[in-house]
Amino acid sequence: MRLCFDLDAALRNRYSGFFTFASGLLNATNRLEHPPEMLLAFQSRYKKLADSLLKDLGNWAVPVSCPLKFRWIEALWNLLPYPSIHTIFGKFDLYHCFHHFMPPRSDVPRLLTVHDLRRYQLPELYKKSRLRPFETAVKRADHFIAVSHATRNDLCRTFDIEPERVDVVHLASSLDIAEMSRDEIGLLRTRLLSRHGLGFKQYIVSFSSKDRRKNINRTVKAFEMALPALPEGTGLVILGQLPESFKIKSTNIFTPGPVDDIIPWLICSRALVFASLYEGFGLPILEGFQAGLPVITSNCSSMPEVAGDAALLVDPYDVRQIRDAIRSVVLDKVATKSLKEAGSKRLKAFSWEKTAASTIKIYEKLTKEPGRWL
């Protein structure tokens, strides 16, 4: 079995779910006794980043770069069924797409991984002009992987797709966290806060991006409402970019922006607040569990599916619920201890080894019927 794997979407979106899925899947596949041969396709301009990602993989991983920009090829595919995907990348038995670089015609199965349907679930936050490439990819795909049952349901409902054409494959956390004593974490926290000139004695952590669905505005408001009841010196650290025009004024809130290493910020935190309006999976939940944190997350989309009963679930539109949950994880030691233990157990349900094994089973299922795709 020889596969063609769309690595380009991951390389173009270094801090995205595309990259997390691709790197986690490839590294787990590398640990298999008999990994399938994969052609890893990407645009030549990303070769340096591809080399760094693939340097530790075995001979089963074959990088294949294309000198042409993929958007040029996609524009041509919208007019003609040429060039063949085999002309570009060579011969293979299955094509796995992660974004929307999907050929209009193929004699092998075309598999599309769908990470979320945010532009359809929250249309007021996004431009409609960006829907067409994804809709074209969905129309051309023969089979789908959804990263959660919630995303599978959204996909089937939005595009009227038969459920049997969609398999669910969960993601996992890729953080490499060394075990540390309580004293070691305390020392690391002191150094971390001192390095950034922060007067916090403790803090909770949250994630943000330019995407307003991360709901950082309500998280900030809820924290400010909770602050009078919290111990003096409690802060909020927001990792990632902020939405445009959103300003932080409070001295109790610190925004370092995107950071290459989130592990110190997580393990030194008291809790994680991830009250997103919508997620296709919700990877920060697992990262919080892995860091040993009590987690607050939303009661919608995929987040209850990932969190199980190991997190405090809130209505992300209800600031008072988020406020009360923040008070609970900071002030209630019994509840916090219970959440940490539950999170540690819940984390065991997710691993990249399970992701790789499930994905390869899908490859095998689809390639057993070669004549079906002609």
The pTM of the whole model exceeds 0.85: yes
> What is the CATH number for 212?
3.40.50.2000
Q: 270 and 368 share a domain? A: no
Q: What is the mean pLDDT of residues 254-260?
A: 89
Q: 93 and 240 share a domain? A: no
Render pLDDT for 307-358 as a digit per residue (tens, 0 to 9).
999 999 999 999 999 999 999 999 999 999 999 999 999 999 999 999 999 9
Q: 226 and 312 share a domain? A: yes
Q: 207 and 122 share a domain? A: no
Q: How many domains does the chain divide into?
A: 2
On whether residue 306 sits in a domain, the answer given is yes
- SS3 of 304-316: the string is HHHHCCCCEEECC
Range of the domain at 132: 2-172+352-373
Q: 310 and 251 share a domain? A: yes
Q: What is the mean pLDDT of residues 28-44?
A: 91
Q: 161 and 196 share a domain? A: no
CA 2/CA 92 separation, integer angstroms? 5
State residue 281's pLDDT score: 97
On whether residue 144 sits in a domain, the answer given is yes
State residue 21's pLDDT score: 86
Q: 15 and 162 share a domain? A: yes
Q: 361 and 298 share a domain? A: no
Q: What is the mean pLDDT of residues 172-179?
A: 90
Render pLDDT for 101-143 as a digit per residue (tens, 0 to 9).
999 988 999 999 999 999 999 999 888 777 889 999 999 999 9
Q: 250 and 320 share a domain? A: yes
| DSSP state letters, 81-130 | S-S-HHHHH---SEEEESSS---S--SS-EEEEE---HHHHSGGGS-GGG
Coil vs helix vs strand at 37: strand
